[in-house]
């Protein structure tokens, strides 16, 4: 049960990184890499049959793309809301 809350907190932290990118606040390079790496590792649960882990893989890809390219705002808002929802639900 504690692991679910920790993973939910990581979702919320990644959501805040996406929100920083949405509002033009440049997050630290290491923070973006940290969040992308953790989301990728969480996304590997898709191999165990967890369908919502696809959101984590997609979010990780978008974060990595945002490091080198200008990503469309809609591609930043979608994972932001999905990660926010996953993070909040994991605390209940």
User: What value does the mean pLDDT take over residues 28-53?
Assistant: 89
pLDDT confidence bin for 68, thresholds 50/70/90: confident
pLDDT confidence bin for 48, thresholds 50/70/90: confident
| Domain edges within the chain | 2-89
Q: What's the pLDDT score for residue 51? A: 85
3-state helix, strand, coil in the chain (%, to 5): 80, 0, 20
CA pair distance 38, 25, nearest whole angstrom: 21
User: What value does the mean pLDDT take over residues 63-76?
Assistant: 90
């Amino acid at each position: 049960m504690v692991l679910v809350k920790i993973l939910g907190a990581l979702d919320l932290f990644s959501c805040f990184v996406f929100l920083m990118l949405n509002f033009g606040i440049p997050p630290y390079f290491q923070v973006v890499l940290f969040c992308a790496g953790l989301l990728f590792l969480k996304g590997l649960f898709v191999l165990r049959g967890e369908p919502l882990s696809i959101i984590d893989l997609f979010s990780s890809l978008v974060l990595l793309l945002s490091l080198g390219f200008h990503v469309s705002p809609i591609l930043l808002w979608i994972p932001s809301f999905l990660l926010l929802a996953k993070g909040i639900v994991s605390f209940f």
